Chains A and B, each alone.
Chain A
Amino acid sequence: MQPILRAENVHKSFDKTHILKGVSFQIEEGDLVSIIGPSGCGKSTLLRCLNGLETLDSGMIEACGVRLERKPGAPEVPGEVAHRLRRNVGMVFQQYNLFPHKTLLQNVMMAPMVVKGTKKEEAEANAERLLKKVGLYEQMDRYPINMSGGQQQRGAIARALAMAPKIMLYDEPTSALDPGLVDEVLDVMKELDAEGMTQIVVTHEMRFARDASDYIIYMEKGDIVEISDEDEIFENPKDPRTRQFLHRFA
């Protein structure tokens, strides 16, 4: 089966710090993949490269047939390519980043109307459907500031889904949440998984990684150390570094 997303030999530096040191992996349609690893290992940077929020130094990323490639020393890839790449890739951030000057409904409606020129009625109907899906139909006229963190994050997921992506990226989606609010967000992601959405989650939520993921990518110091089945990696990690990291969560 053709992978839906592929990364090959991705390199990225900030100033003199080499963050990603030739990362390669591929994901098939419908997978839910967790990326774990210690802080500063480059997992968030990798995720941001996957939808073109960060430019590559070199390497290749291909999602749903859109290819973003940069040879070492070549000029930056034009923003237009990242734009095409993002058509199929949605992203959810740690801090939700809802637009505070818009109601929840308007937040979800905005991008389709602005980017795709979707008609207002159509965008509204779609937004209402998505808000129902994430359990926020009753809250749609609220402003983000009047919503809990969990509600805001579910709203952010609905906002990303409004662009009809084939792949969803989550950058530590529950790290900013009170422990009591984590599950409502993870439940939405599980539901999407059940519907066959391809999802990549950078997370510190080991329980979720273990329960929900199809497999887990363990990263350390800018590279992938181990890609394993979720049970295997927790019970019998192949690499000693993985073992040492997971030991702390045991």
Chain B
Amino acid sequence: MRFALAVLLTLLSLGQALAQSPPPATSTPLRYGGDSTSGAPYTFKDPADPDITVGFEVDIMTQLGIEIGRKTVFVQNDWSNLIPGLNAGLYDAVINGLEITAAHQAAADFSIPYYVTFGQIVIRRGDADVPDIAALRGKSVGTLKSSQMEYVLRSFGGIDVRSYEEEIDAYSDLKLKRIDATVMDFPIAVYYAQPDRELQFTGAPVGRIEYGIAVKKGGNPQLLAQINTGLSQMIQDGEMRKILDRWGIWTPMMAQFTGDARPMQAQPDAYNHFVEATQPQGWQAQLERYMRFMPQLLWAAVMTMEISILAMFIAVGLGATLALCRVYGGVWLDRLAQVYIEVVRGTPLLIQVLFIYYGLPKIGIQLDPFIAGVLALGLNYAAYEAENYRAGLLAIPRHQMEAAIALNMTERQSLRHVVIPQAARIVLPPTTNDFISLIKDSSLVSVISLVELTKTYELISTTYYDYFGTGLLVAGMYLLLGLPFVRLAKWAERHVSRGMTRTTK
């Protein structure tokens, strides 16, 4: 009981300490957030070496750092939580294809555009050309969820818009004839549709899209000015042009925006590298590729286990405390525990994870993502453990406690030496079950920037366009993680069930 409380208090005070750390000076590194699963060519894992995060945005930030004389550090976070992460102080700026729109400007401050582009219509090779957005009326069209293009397509009217989390899923569905066309930002089309022989570009540019670097709303005008200066310099001295040419995504809008009408200034070697590395390969090369990201998967598995085991400690400790409160704690402790259990069980784990990580900073509790993830999972599972343990305690006959009291043990001693050891044997199997399900639920913490097994699956599969082989690999990994605990549970059950089942003499 005391142990669980101590852990909680330590975690909370740690969070407070983090929250009170002093504001960074100008010479400190510029930390920028992005999601390396968001795909090429923005910010992604190099298909040739999954340990390296690359992309035209990474190049822009590196160059920007040189222009303004600050080191830059990439911080991974889930795409949909990039702005909340900014407010949580996880990093100073966000660069990840964020469009400068009124809605986005309400949530964060934006720099001048670092890239101006448009929506590219893509169809199956051999299908009839689609001249413009108007010709998409009556067709089903795939695009990225919560992107500016989605808004453009939906507000145009008459188009059956299908929203996707991942660009490659949209192109997949296009090839499988589940949809008629896609409209996504030009760089996406260049990287995922252009190299594909089954797909082709068509029609006029759709709309105009500006990407900007986001900083915390009203939080840091100096930083914003610094970034703007850096971007302007890069445009002036031609470095921006070189980066965009290397990635093969220079656009007419960019030419107009920068007044740069020169021909190509650099070979598209970054683009060529990507196409080469993601070309379909023979099974040997495929195997080699799997071997290459094995270390990455193993590290992710370690992360998954670290989170799960620590969370289980909290769940077991707090769960046992709650169960004791419910059975032996008297009316008030019982009620308090009941309220906790109902609230935690009655709300989705995902909400709890997001609330603890992104919500609590609002009241001054700012937690490291790892601690927040462990805490959220532990606090959640504690509620389920508590009910398990309560059932276990109630399963022990009242007479056992009475016999212990009659031997002059105190209630506390009776619980500790007589009731709890017996209850523990009863609850061991369900607890193991819960732990195995906790291992799987730990994938939810990827929403707060933790890269564990499931997140790594996303990372790798979106990089190589390979959900199948990677999927089997990761599924096998989860099985291997759970298996020892199934075995351990069986052994422990046999070991501790002595005296609970009759043995032959």
Contacts and interface: CB of A to CB of B under 8 A. Distances in A.
Contact-size category for B = 20 to 34
Contact of B505 (A100, A110, A146): A146
A93 B407 contact: no
Contact of A115 (B400, B403, B409, B500): B409
Contact of B402 (A53, A100, A159): A53
Nearest to B503: A146
Nearest to A102: B499
B498 A143 contact: yes
A160 B406 CA distance: 8
Interface in A95-112: 95, 97-103, 110-111
A182 to B, nearest CB: 21
Q: Which residue among B400, B405, B410, B501 has the maximum number of chain A CB atoms within 10 Å of its CB?
A: B405
B413 interface: yes
Interface residues of A, number: 28
B399 A115 contact: no
A153 interface: no
A101 B500 CA distance: 7
B31 interface: no
Given A93-B403, A115-B409, A145 B501 contact: yes
A83 interface: yes
B499 A160 contact: no
A178 B499 CA distance: 22
B139 interface: no
Contact of B408 (A95, A111, A145): A111
Contacts of B422: 99-101
A244 to B, nearest CB: 33
Given A93-B399, A99-B400, A163 B498 contact: no
Chain B binding surface, main DSSP class: helix
A159 to B, nearest CB: 7
Nearest to B424: A101
B417 A110 contact: yes
Nearest to A99: B418
Contact of B406 (A53, A99, A145): A53
B252 interface: no
A127 B331 CA distance: 40
A86 B503 contact: no
Contacts of A99: 400, 403-404, 418, 422
Given A93-B402, A95-B399, A115-B413, A100 B408 contact: no
Given A101-B422, A102-B499, A87 B403 contact: no
A144 interface: yes
B162 interface: no
Nearest to B422: A101
Contact of A143 (B403, B406, B408, B499): B499
Nearest to A162: B407
A58 B223 CA distance: 79
B499 A163 contact: no
A190 B312 CA distance: 54
A174 to B, nearest CB: 17
B60 to A, nearest CB: 66
Q: Which residue among B400, B403, B406, B409 has the maximum number of chain A CB atoms within 10 Å of its CB?
A: B406
Contact of A146 (B409, B413, B502): B502
Nearest to B416: A114
B425 interface: yes
A91 B406 contact: yes
A146 to B, nearest CB: 6
Contact of A111 (B399, B409, B496): B409
Given A101-B499, A101-B500, A145-B499, A53 B405 contact: yes
A35 B268 CA distance: 103
Q: When A and B form their complex, which 4 residue pairs have the shortest distance between CB atoms, in order from nearest?
A: A143-B499, A97-B403, A111-B407, A91-B406
17 contacts: A51-B406, A53-B402, A87-B408, A91-B406, A93-B399, A93-B402, A98-B403, A99-B418, A100-B500, A101-B425, A102-B499, A110-B407, A110-B417, A115-B407, A143-B503, A156-B403, A163-B408
